[in-house]
Structure 1
């Protein structure tokens, strides 16, 4: 297979399994910016070089990530102030406030919740990557999806579920989504699957199809957690986001043992993992295929509990 010029969309090459590919991060700042986004939202082309450098340094102090978000309709991009969300994914909490401009990011204390005069919000947020300047797959597949979702979940003040977002890693899996407040990434999503995922998320229920993993975990632990969730779903057991806790991770070369506990039942699972090679990976449109590596579940055992 050859990838030259515009022949192949990287998101059409489905050689990689999704689990274990999620964007990693614990704390996110989601800032509403309705204008254009440059290739990297902090490269100076969007917010200016000086402010971008200051924001980057401030976020680094807290190990936080920035996502720019915007409403998918022209009407929704006419704003008087900016939504600013602070998401603590490890504890599954989103806080929201309205600010005058991006300079407000520099005043945030991101060391924990309850420090920024923001309100907690119970409703999940679904961020659909439409960052075409990063990779065109996100525009080609993300924008139609978010436009359809907006019709189902129309934007009203205080009722904001679906947003466009900047790059969330893995545009080769477009359409890609980030589900807050838990920090789960999803890939290769269509409208039907996304509707089902959102319906479950409204009840806090874990959705397996398209799930790339939780960003609070390492890639191998992401793959193990999705594997356990899929196993339980096949048995007819539904779980909630945050219900599976990774309590052990022993990696040795191409093998790993990941131990997880079901917090609601105290059941313990041991996932024996194996890393294997995958060929024909297109990380971006127009690039040559390359070799990659993925983690997969070799064996899964319930070692204790119900």
Structure 2
């Protein structure tokens, strides 16, 4: 039986510029099973989950649940919740951690400030290696469970101490998908070997273009432009490039990509649709998802 991932691979659908857009991630530890819409379908208080989602709307903050790899159906409810807040705009990123007894305490945060890159003193700075967040929510898409859970388990067994399952990263058809902090790059179609390569590169301050879906800190046109410049130059420094985009007609953008050494490029990006139709998620009707295509890259 075909899955959304096998169809996407057969069609050689590009990974670039498919990362979920979020300047800041708010990740709340919650053990036990997750439903398809996990913020309202887990052991987390439903009203709290919905309130967190509402508070984050329009601020650039994306809320998700995390848990350690392993069996979850019989896990007791979490009594203390680890919390990770990560700002992922390159050159301005940070990761902060704390624990709360009641996730409702997080409703007191200034979500607009978090989205803008101001942590307002929340928690303490994360110290240690990269954090690997692997999408595993089979209630949302079976590919995430079938492919994501074994990947998370393998990374944990290999000794990576900061491996977490996460409820939703978008792009089920690119499973297994992984978001890596501190830099906020999303990756897809990973194997255990390539995922370990990504984590090693992240620890050294680099990203890996081959499996990159983009940095969540950029809008999708910016993700496409950054990726194109990386391919053209071979630059892999995670914080080496910044982008600024402006509309250039309907469904088209001019994106200025600037290197920290002063070099700059202008990238012409256009939004198209993916043909032929394919399912964006298992069980859904075939559609033509949006894609970002680069028309030109010019040094300026």
Q: Compute the TM-score of the two structures, normalised by the length of structure 1.
A: 0.85
* Equivalent residue, structure 2, for 1:230: 231
Q: CA deviation at 1:254?
A: 4.9
Going from structure 1 to structure 2, the CA distance change for 1:213 and 1:251 (only over 3 Å counts) comes to farther
* Equivalent residue, structure 2, for 1:119: 125
Q: CA deviation at 1:61?
A: 7.4
Match of 1:128 among 122, 134, 146: 134
Work out the CA distance in 2 between the residues paired with 1:222 and 1:286.
28
Work out the CA distance in 1 between the residues paired with 2:34 and 2:57.
21
Q: CA deviation at 1:118?
A: 2.6
* Equivalent residue, structure 2, for 1:219: 220
Work out the CA distance in 1 between the residues paired with 2:273 and 2:49.
38
In the alignment, structure 1 residue 143 sits paired with structure 2 residue 149: yes
Show structure 2 runs of 5+ residues with no match.
none
In the alignment, structure 1 residue 18 sits paired with structure 2 residue 15: yes
* Equivalent residue, structure 2, for 1:47: 44
Work out the CA distance in 1 between the residues paired with 2:290 and 2:244.
24
Write the mapping of 1:74-113 to structure 2, written as runs, cut at 5 A: 81-90=80-89, 91-110=92-111, 111=113, 112-113=118-119
Going from structure 1 to structure 2, the CA distance change for 1:288 and 1:46 (only over 3 Å counts) comes to same
Work out the CA distance in 2 between the residues paired with 1:149 and 1:216.
25
* Equivalent residue, structure 1, for 2:3: 9
| Contact residue 255 and residue 269 of structure 2 kept, 8 A | yes
Deviation sequence 1:26-51 (CA, Å, 0-9, x none)? 12111111111111122355423322
* Equivalent residue, structure 2, for 1:168: 169
In the alignment, structure 1 residue 38 sits paired with structure 2 residue 35: yes
SS at match of 1:42: helix
* Equivalent residue, structure 2, for 1:188: 189
| Contact residue 153 and residue 162 of structure 1 kept, 8 A | no
SS at match of 2:273: strand
Q: CA deviation at 1:62?
A: 4.3
In the alignment, structure 1 residue 246 sits paired with structure 2 residue 240: no
Match of 1:288 among 264, 285, 288: 285
Deviation sequence 1:257-304 (CA, Å, 0-9, x none)? 2211001x110112222433322321111233222332122222222x
| Count of aligned pairs | 286
Provide the alpha-carbon RMSD of the alignment: 2.2
| Contact residue 280 and residue 289 of structure 2 kept, 8 A | no
Deviation sequence 1:38-76 (CA, Å, 0-9, x none)? 11122355423322233223333744221111111359x
| Contact residue 25 and residue 61 of structure 2 kept, 8 A | yes
Q: CA deviation at 1:18?
A: 1.1
Q: CA deviation at 1:197?
A: 0.7
Going from structure 1 to structure 2, the CA distance change for 1:255 and 1:248 (only over 3 Å counts) comes to closer
